[in-house]
Structure 1
Amino acid sequence: MNQDKKWKSRLKHLTLRNRILLLFVAATLIPFICTCYLSYNTITSILNTKLQSGIQSNLKQVRLSLENALSNLNHVSQQLSYGGHVGKQLEQFLLAEQPYDRSYLTDQIKNQLNLITFTNPSVGLTLYYFGDDQTTLFENTGMTQPIDIDNLPVIAEYYGITYFGPHLSNDRYNPQYVLSALRKVGLPDREDAYIYIESGFKLTQSILDLDEVSKHTNHLILDNDGRISYSELQSVFPENTLFSDSMEPTHLTGINSDYYWYRQVSNQGWSVVSLISQSDYNREKNRWIMQMLGLALLFAVVSLTIGWLLWKMVYKPLSRFNKEIKLLASSNFNAAPTQSRIPEFEMLLNQFQHMKVQIAQLYTEVKVKEKRRADLEIEKLQYQINPHFLMNTLDTAHWLAVMNGQDEIDRLITSLNKLLYYNLRKGNSVATIRDEIDSLKQYLILQQIRYDFQFDVSIQVDDELLEVTVPRFILQPLVENSLYHGLDDHGRIEVEVRKNDRLEIEIRDNGGGISEKSIEALLEQEQTQHHRVGMGIGLNYVKRMLASHYEGKANLAVTSEMGRGTRIIISIQIGEGNEPI
C-alpha cells in the first residue's frame, strides 16, 4: 500500500513535459513491443514448423531410399544364392574338373551376372566371396583391393544376410560411397561361400540435397544397436560409437551437443539421423531479430524527433503562458505580452491579456468591497431590526397579557423577549455554554407553541463545561435546521455537549434527513440565497463564526441519512482549564 501511495504521489507531481514524454513513449513502445512479441512467437512457430517438417520429410525420403536400396540388394542376392539359377551353376563350377566345363560355366555365370546387373542399374560391384581363403570369383568389374569384410560398418543383420552402411567401394572405376550386402550362398559343400553386392550410394546422397534445408543438414546412419555406422560429422559424432547413451528408441527428436537431431527408424531396426547446428537452425530467427533491432532504432529516432517537435510546439508556449500567470499572481498587470507562432496559443494569450485588464479593474473594487463587507458582516446580522423599539413593545404586550389573564400569550412573549434580548444585544460576540443553552430553551418554547406537531428535546451538558465560552448564537441555527428539515410527530432532537480530547457539541434528530447536495448548499452558500427560517441565519453563519474565532482549530461536520435523521457535530480544540485555544 505504501509503495502504491508513493507511485501515486510521484505521478501526481509529474510536470506536463514529463507526462507528454511518458504518454508518447508508452504510445510508441507498447504497440511496438507487443508487435515484436507476437511477431517473434509467430515467426518462431512458423520457422520451427517449416524446418522440422522439411527435415522430417527429407529424412523420410532418405530412409525410404535406403530401404529400397537394401531391399534391391536383398532381391539380387536371392537370385545369386543356391536357390537361384546362378547359384546352381556356381556349384557345378566348383565341382567341375574339366577345363572345358569350367570355361563354359564361367561364361554362363558371367553372362547371368551381367544380365542381372544390367537389369538393376543401382547395383554396382557384384561377386562371390569365400571366407576361409578370402578369395573372390566372378567380379563384374575390377577391384582396387581385396575385400575386408570384418572392417565394413554393419547396419543390420538378420535372416542370413548382413547389410553394411556407407563405405568406399572396391570398384576400381567408380570409387564412391556405397551400401553393400553379404549373403550366404547356401552351397551344400561350402559353408564359407557368400554373395557380396554393392549398391551405389550416390542416389542417396542426391536425395539428401533435395530440400533447401538440407544445405545445412548432416546425416548419420545408425545400426540396430544405435551405433554410428556412417557419419558426416566425424569430429563430433565419430563412427563406431554410440549416438547417445541415454537415447530411447522412442525418441525421434532432441538436442545433442550443439546440434538438433531428428531420427527416422526403418522397419529393419536401423535408423537415419539428420543433424542441424543450432546456429543454422536459428539463422532465420536471428536475421529477423536484427531486422527488429534496426526497426527499433528507427522508431527511437522518429520518437525523439516527434518528441522534440511536441516540446517545441506545446510545452514551450505553455511555459510562456505559465510565466504570464505567475506575473498575474504577483499582481503584476503591466508585463509585456509574449508572442507565439501557433494560432491556438496566440488566441489564448490574447484572451489572457484581455482578462488581465478586467482583473486589474476588478481588483481595486473587490479589495474595497471585501474590506467593507468584513466590517459590516456581524453588524448586518445584529442590527437587522431596532432592538430597543422591539423590547419596549414586547414589554407592553407582556403586561397586557398579565392584566387580561392570558397566560399562554404571556409565556410566549416572555420567551421571545428573552431570546431577542440575548441574540440582539451589542458589544460581546462570545457567550458561555450556559447562556447558549438558556437561549436555546427559550427558542424551543417558542417553536413548541408555533408548530402544530409534538417533538421532544433532550439536552445533556457536562457541568464542568457550562462556563466554557463559545461564539454567541451557534446552537439555535443548528437546532433550527433539525426542525426545518423533516421533523414531524414523535420527532426527537438530542443536544449533547461533551469533552473528549476536544470540546464537542452534537445535535441529532430522527427527521427525514438532508441530501448531500442540500448539505453542501447550506454550508457553502449565503443565507440570503435561501428561504429564510426563524432568525434567517443558518449553518453557513455557524461555519463562518467558527472559522473567524478559531482560525482552523474548530470544524463543523454534517452527516445525514434520508429517512433516518441528521447529525451535526462541532469540534473545538481546547486547552487547560477547558478554555478553547
Structure 2
Amino acid sequence: MSRKLMMERLKQITFKNRIIAIFLISSLIPFICLGFISFYTINSILGNKVEAALQNNLNQELIVLENTLNNINHVSQQLAFGGGTNKLLEELVHETESYNQIQLRNNIKAELNIISFSNPNVGLIMYYYPEACTYDFENFRLRSEFRPDQLPLMAKYSEITYFGPHKSYNGSMNQYVFSTMRKVNLPDQDVYLYIETGRNALETLFAPENRKSDSRRLLILDNDGRIVFSENEGAFPVSSMFPGHSSAANVSSGTYEAFYWNKATSNQGWSIVSLIPKNELNQERNSWLLQMALIFVVFIFVAVITAWLLWKMVYNPLDKFNKEIKTLIQTNTNYTGLTKIPEFDYLLYQIRDMKTKIWDLYGEIERKEKRRADLEVEKLLYQINPHFLMNTLDTVHWLAVFSGHEKIDKLVLSLNKLLSYNLGKMGEATTIGKEIQALKEYLQLQQIRYDFQFDVDIEVDESTMGLSIPRFILQPLVENALYHGVSDEGYIHVDIKLNQELEITIQDNGSGMTQAEIDALMLDESKESQKVGMGIGMRYVKRILQANYGERARLEIKSEVGKGTIVTLRIPVTGGEQAL
C-alpha cells in the first residue's frame, strides 16, 4: 500500500473513530508497558529465585543424605574392622560347646545393641553369609526373606556397596531406607555386614505419604546416571537412564517433557534429582496472566465506554452547532438550547451573535440596494443636463468654426473634451496616457481663462503610459497648485516615473505653506482642510487612493513659504498590468 493511499484512508477516518483510537492508544500503552514489566518481574522471580530456592533445598537434602550414609558407613567400619565383635565371631566359629556358643552369641548381640543404641540413625544391623544365603545376629525381626541381589544398587566400591532407597527389611517399620554391605575382616570366613538407616532418619525425604500436598518427586541416580529409585515410575522408570544426565557435571537443572528438574551430585558420584511439574511451577505465572487478561478485557471495555462518552460529549455540541449553522441564513430564531459545557456554550453564543450580525447586515444591504436603485434613477436624470450641455457646446463649436472665431472654437473644443472625460465615473480605472491628455485640455482652458502667464512642464516615462490609475487624480492636484500657489511667471512641473512603484510628483514655485497648514490639509476633516483652501480636491485624491490601494499608497506634501510646494504620490503597480 502506497503512502499516498494510506494518507487518503487516514483522512477518511471519522472524528468519532479518531477519538476512540487515540483514547485507547493513550490508555493502553501504559497498561501494556506495565504488564510487560510485571510479567518480566514474575518470570524472573520464578526462573531465578524459585529455581534457586529449589536447588538450595535439594542441596540441603543431599547434605542430610550424605551425613546419614556417612554415619552408617562409619558404623560399618567399626564393626567390620573392630576387634571386639570380630573376635567374638572368631571364637564362635571355633567353639564346640553349646553353652559357650550361646554365651558368645548373646555377647555379639549385646555389642550390636550397644552400637545401635548409640547411633539413633542406624536401624537394622545383621551379618550376611552369601554362600549359604543366610543371615544372623539381626537386631530386629525381618519382615521377609533377605535378598540383597534385589536391592537397588546405588554405588559400588571395593570395600563397600550402597543400595538406594528401598523398603526396610525391619519388620517393625515400614519406611524407605538406605543400606550398605561391607565385607567383615575375618580370616577364612565370607561374611558381610548389612546396615540400614534408622527410623525417621529420612522420613521427610522418602515418605511421599507424609507430603501429599507436595507434588515434588525425587529420583536417585547411580554414578552412571541410571535411575535406582523413582517416585514417578511412569515418566522415569527404575533402571532407565536419566534424560538430563550428561558428562557435564555442572548441569544442575533443566526440563524434560512436563517437568522441571534440579540435580545435586554427591562427592561419591551418585545424584539426587527433584522433579516438579511445569504446570505447578507456572501456576503463579498462569494465574497472573489470567488476571491480567481479565483486567485487560475490563480495561478495554471501560476505555471504550469512556471514549464513547467523550465522543457524545463532543458530538452533542457539534450537532447543535450544525443545526445552528443550517438555520444561519434561513431565520434569525435560535432553535437549539445550550450544551451545558462552558467552552461550547461560549462558541454557541459567538455563533448566535454572528448570526444576529449577519441578519443585520442583510437588512443593511437591502436598504443600500434600495438606495442604490434610487440613485441610479437620480443619476439618469442628472445625466440629461450634462449631455444637453455637451450637445449645446458642440453646436457653439460649429458656429465658431463657420464664423471664423478660432479662439472660441479652441476653447469650446477643449471644454467639450474635458467635460466628456470628467463626466465618467469618478475613481474608476483609466490610464496614465488618458489622464495626461485630460490634464492638457484642462491647462489649455486655464491659459485662455487667466490673464497671467505660467509654464507647465509635463515629463512622463513612456513605460508608464499604459499603466492603470484611478480617473481624475492629476487635475485636482495641478488645480490646487495653479489656484493657490502660481502667479505671473509661475512654473508647474509634473513628473511621472516608474521605479518599484509608480511615483507622481507635482511641483510649483508658488507661495508655499507652513507646516501647520500642511498638517491641517492632511487631516480628513473637511472644515480644517477648507481653511487652507485646498479642501475638495485634496480630500477627493486621498479618498480615491484609500479606496483603491489602502495603506499601500502614500501622499506626501513638502512646502516652504515663499519657495513653493512639492506634492508626491506613490502608487503600487499590481503585477505591472496595464489598462486596456
> What is the match of residue 557 of structure 1?
none
Aligned residues: 439
1:110 CA drift (Å):
0.4
Q: Does 1:388 align with 2:437?
A: yes
> What is the match of residue 161 of structure 1?
160
Q: What are the residue-to-residue correspondences of 1:130-529 with 2, within 5 Å?
A: 130-190=129-189, 192-200=190-198, 202-207=200-205, 215-244=214-243, 247=246, 248-328=248-328, 331-334=329-332, 336-344=334-342, 345-363=344-362, 380-382=428-430, 386-391=435-440, 416=461, 418-423=462-467, 480=500, 527-529=549-551
Report the CA distance shift for 1:231/1:212 in structure 2 as closer, same or farther (over 3 A).
closer
Report the CA distance shift for 1:426/1:279 in structure 2 as closer, same or farther (over 3 A).
closer
* Distance in 2 between residues matched to 1:38 and 1:425, nearest whole Å: 76
1:289 CA drift (Å):
1.3
| Conserved? CA contact 1:220–1:231, under 8 Å | yes
Instruction: Report the secondary structure of 2:171's partner residue.
Output: coil
> What is the match of residue 542 of structure 1?
575
TM-score (norm 1): 0.66
| Conserved? CA contact 1:58–1:208, under 8 Å | no
1:535 CA drift (Å):
7.4
Superposed CA deviations along residues 358-399 of structure 1, whole A, max 9, x for unmatched, are 0222356679999x9xxx999644379943243568999xxx
| Conserved? CA contact 2:72–2:195, under 8 Å | yes
1:4 CA drift (Å):
3.9
TM-score (norm 2): 0.67
| Conserved? CA contact 1:54–1:213, under 8 Å | no
1:311 CA drift (Å):
2.8
> What is the match of residue 505 of structure 1?
none
| Conserved? CA contact 2:431–2:469, under 8 Å | no
| Conserved? CA contact 1:252–1:262, under 8 Å | yes
Report the CA distance shift for 1:87/1:113 in structure 2 as closer, same or farther (over 3 A).
same
| Conserved? CA contact 2:552–2:571, under 8 Å | no
* Distance in 1 between residues matched to 2:501 and 2:186, nearest whole Å: 129
* Distance in 1 between residues matched to 2:362 and 2:323, nearest whole Å: 20
- Asked which structure has the greater CA Rg, the reply is 2
1:10 CA drift (Å):
3.7
User: Gaps (5+ residues) in structure 2?
Assistant: 373-423, 446-455, 472-494, 504-546, 556-567
Report the CA distance shift for 1:269/1:178 in structure 2 as closer, same or farther (over 3 A).
same
1:278 CA drift (Å):
0.8
| Conserved? CA contact 2:161–2:180, under 8 Å | yes
* Distance in 2 between residues matched to 1:53 and 1:113, nearest whole Å: 43
Superposed CA deviations along residues 198-256 of structure 1, whole A, max 9, x for unmatched, are 11474334157999998121110101000001111011101111002763432111111
Report the CA distance shift for 1:123/1:358 in structure 2 as closer, same or farther (over 3 A).
same
* Distance in 2 between residues matched to 1:209 and 1:93, nearest whole Å: 40
State the AA in 2 paired with 1:423.
L
| Conserved? CA contact 2:332–2:356, under 8 Å | no
| Conserved? CA contact 1:179–1:201, under 8 Å | no
User: Gaps (5+ residues) in structure 1?
Assistant: 397-408, 428-448, 452-475, 484-524, 550-581
| Conserved? CA contact 1:162–1:182, under 8 Å | yes
State the AA in 2 paired with 1:100.
Y
Instruction: Report the secondary structure of 1:240's partner residue.
Output: coil
CA RMSD of aligned residues (A): 4.1
| Conserved? CA contact 2:496–2:502, under 8 Å | no
1:65 CA drift (Å):
1.2
Instruction: Report the secondary structure of 2:162's partner residue.
Output: strand
1:22 CA drift (Å):
1.6
* Distance in 1 between residues matched to 2:85 and 2:108, nearest whole Å: 6
Report the CA distance shift for 1:333/1:383 in structure 2 as closer, same or farther (over 3 A).
farther
Instruction: Report the secondary structure of 2:204's partner residue.
Output: helix
State the AA in 1 paired with 2:176.
Y
* Distance in 1 between residues matched to 2:57 and 2:470, nearest whole Å: 111
* Distance in 2 between residues matched to 1:415 and 1:93, nearest whole Å: 158
Report the CA distance shift for 1:160/1:289 in structure 2 as closer, same or farther (over 3 A).
same
Q: Percent identity?
A: 38
Instruction: Report the secondary structure of 1:382's partner residue.
Output: strand
